[in-house]
Amino acid sequence: MSRALDKYLRLPLITVLVVAADQLSKWWVLAAIPRHSVVPVVPGFLNLVRVHNPGGAFGFLAGQSSLWRGLFFIFFSLVAVGIILWLYRQTPAVYKWLLTGFSLIIGGALGNLIDRLRFGQVVDFIDVYAGRFHWPAFNLADSAITVGVVIFGLYLLSRKYPV
């Protein structure tokens, strides 16, 4: 397979897989876990919960009106996807990990955007903690975005080898 073909198959394949996994996991959580319930998975480290986050990361803008907040997050999600698509297009096909990172970011952004359009908020369900210290609940879309941003950050720091 040519590098160019690989590059342009990678984007829809990873994006669709991320969106599908994210939406299926959220569908399961909505069907199986009552709101604000806790299901221990690994005691002392990991729970499944059902939290509806009207804000952004760490509850950013959660206290704002739902109309303003919704327009803000939908607009910036679309802008972010547009920028990442532009970066993807500019990236040479030899940078496979960077292209994968961009695809993960787009898939995660679209997964959370679907929630915002459907529910006006994002469904979070992964609760990682140590003792009484809990990381804010998150979902598979958030995880994909985080991994994609880490890959992008590592590329920016190293910029040595195409991978």
Domain-wise residue ranges, the chain: 3-158
* Length of the chain (residues): 163
* Whole-number pLDDT of residue 18: 98
Label the pairing between strands 38-42 and 46-53.
antiparallel
Catalytically active residues are: 124, 142
160 CB-near residues (< 8 Å, 6+ apart): none
Running along the chain, 163 residues long, what does each successive block of 10 average in pLDDT? 81 97 98 94 95 70 64 88 96 94 97 93 95 92 97 88 55
Residue with tokens 């720091």: 157
Question: DSSP string covering 103-121, please?
Answer: HHHHHHHHHHHHHHHHHSS
| pTM of the predicted structure, to 2 decimals | 0.88
* Whole-number pLDDT of residue 67: 67
* Whole-number pLDDT of residue 46: 97
d(CA 11, CA 115): 21
